[in-house]
Amino acid sequence: MTFGEQPAYLRVAGDLRQKIVDGLLPPHTRLPSQARIREEYGVSDTVALEARKVLMAEGLVEGRSGSGTYVRERPAPRSIARSGYRPAGGATPFRQEQADASGRGTWESSSEQTEASGAIAERLGIRLGDRVMCTKYLFRDNGEPMMLSTSWEPLAVTGRTPVMLPEEGPLGGMGVVERMAAIDVVVDNVTEEVGARPGLAEELLALGGVPGHVVLVVQRTFYASGRPVETADVVIPADRYRVAYHLPVK
pLDDT at residue 60 greater than cutoff 80: yes
pLDDT at residue number 83: 59
pTM for the whole structure: 0.73
Write out pLDDT tens, residues 199-237: 998 999 999 877 778 899 999 999 999 999 999 999 999
Position 215, amino acid: V
The residues spanned by each domain of the chain are 8-71, 78-245
pLDDT at residue number 75: 73
- Average pLDDT across the chain, whole number: 86
pLDDT at residue number 30: 94
Quick check: 96 and 86 in contact, CB under 8 A? Answer: yes
Closest CA to 216 of 191, 190, 192: 192
Position 165, amino acid: L
pLDDT at residue 145 greater than cutoff 70: yes
Decide the pairing of beta strands 61-64 and 68-71: antiparallel
Topology adopted by domain 8-71: Arc Repressor Mutant, subunit A (1.10.10)
pLDDT at residue number 100: 46
pLDDT at residue number 2: 46
CATH of 78-245, one of 3.40.1410.10, 3.20.20.70, 3.40.50.970, 3.40.50.620: 3.40.1410.10
Write out pLDDT tens, residues 83-135: 553 444 444 445 455 444 455 678 899 999 999 999 999 999 999 999 999 99
- The share of the chain scoring above pLDDT 90, in percent, equals 60
8-state DSSP, 83: T
3-state helix, strand, coil in the chain (%, to 5): 25, 35, 40
Q: H-helix or E-strand containing 219?
A: strand 214-224
pLDDT at residue number 72: 87
Mean pLDDT of 128-153: 94
pLDDT at residue number 85: 39
For 45, 62, 118, 140, the CA distances from 33, given in Å and listed in that order, are 11, 13, 49, 37
Domains 8-71 and 78-245 share a fold: no
Mean pLDDT of 163-178: 91
Residue of higher predicted confidence among 250 and 204? 204
8-state DSSP, 6: S
